[in-house]
């Protein structure tokens, strides 16, 4: 198991079209502090609830971030998907790091997986002016990536243990998705539950969408 990064921990959840309409004020009142919203997926997919979730979470005063389900099989395809991600969120001011959701690897070797990841992460950083984070399963984090990907912050999914079990590449987590069966006031049905350290927040000087910067 790996520990959290140092810093304050925040309760979070992540949402997509599968949660439908969400009462974010009720979620905040229950103790949720951070919400990650799916922006899109694949080569050209956009989550149909992106804007609605963003507006609701922002109005409720939650800290907001975006993730993109990336399924590229080559660095060139990964860069194209990163450009799609940036186009979807660049005019939506965020509080949290953009996230690459990378869970399916086909027959790629760890070095190939990390090359695809690097292409998406570097393109996202260049386009948004924000250092992104990697979301993946805890087992995959240790087994399917090469060590160089560990330079990026990790949001690991692992349900059951006291800390995510990551065997290699990362020494600490920035995010931990500890349940996919959560129940939160304001959300119908199940929702993913997370803990985030303060390292998930955008740093001073990182550009907001639209070209503004934190000061």
Residue from 122, 38, 57, 126 nearest 95 by CA:
57
In angstroms, the CA 151 to CA 20 distance is 34
161 contact partners, CB below 8 Å, separation of at least 6: 1
In angstroms, the CA 13 to CA 48 distance is 18
Tokens linked to 140: 């995959």
Query: What's the residue count for the chain?
Result: 215
Catalytic residue among 103, 167, 180, 212: 103
Catalytic residue among 5, 14, 71, 101: 14
Q: Count of CB atoms within 10 A of residue 149's CB?
A: 23
14 carries an active-site annotation: yes
Residue from 86, 17, 29, 82 nearest 60 by CA:
29
Helices H / strands E in the chain, number of each: 5, 9
Structural contact between residues 132 and 121, judged by C-beta atoms closer than 8 angstroms: yes
103 carries an active-site annotation: yes
* Residues with active-site annotation: 14, 103
């Amino acid at each position: 198991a790996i520990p959290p990064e140092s810093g304050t921990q925040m309760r979070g959840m992540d949402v997509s079209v599968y949660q439908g309409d969400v009462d974010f004020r009720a979620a905040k009142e229950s103790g949720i502090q951070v919400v990650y919203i799916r922006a899109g997926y694949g080569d050209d997919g956009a989550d149909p609830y992106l804007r609605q979730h963003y507006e609701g979470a922002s109005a409720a005063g939650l800290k907001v971030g975006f993730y993109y389900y990336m399924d590229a099989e080559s660095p060139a395809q990964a860069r194209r998907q990163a450009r799609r991600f940036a186009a979807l969120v660049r005019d939506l001011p965020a509080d949290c790091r953009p996230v690459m959701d990378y869970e399916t690897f086909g027959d790629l070797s760890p070095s190939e997986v990390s090359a695809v990841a690097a292409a998406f992460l570097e393109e996202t950083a260049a386009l948004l002016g924000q250092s992104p984070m990697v979301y993946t399963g805890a087992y995959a984090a240790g087994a399917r990536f090469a060590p160089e990907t560990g330079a990026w912050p990790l949001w690991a999914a692992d349900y059951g243990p006291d800390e995510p079990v990551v065997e290699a590449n990362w020494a600490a987590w920035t995010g931990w998705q500890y349940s996919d069966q959560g129940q939160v006031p304001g959300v119908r049905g199940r929702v993913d539950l997370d803990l985030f350290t303060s390292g998930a927040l955008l740093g001073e000087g990182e550009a907001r969408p639209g070209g503004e910067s934190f000061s």
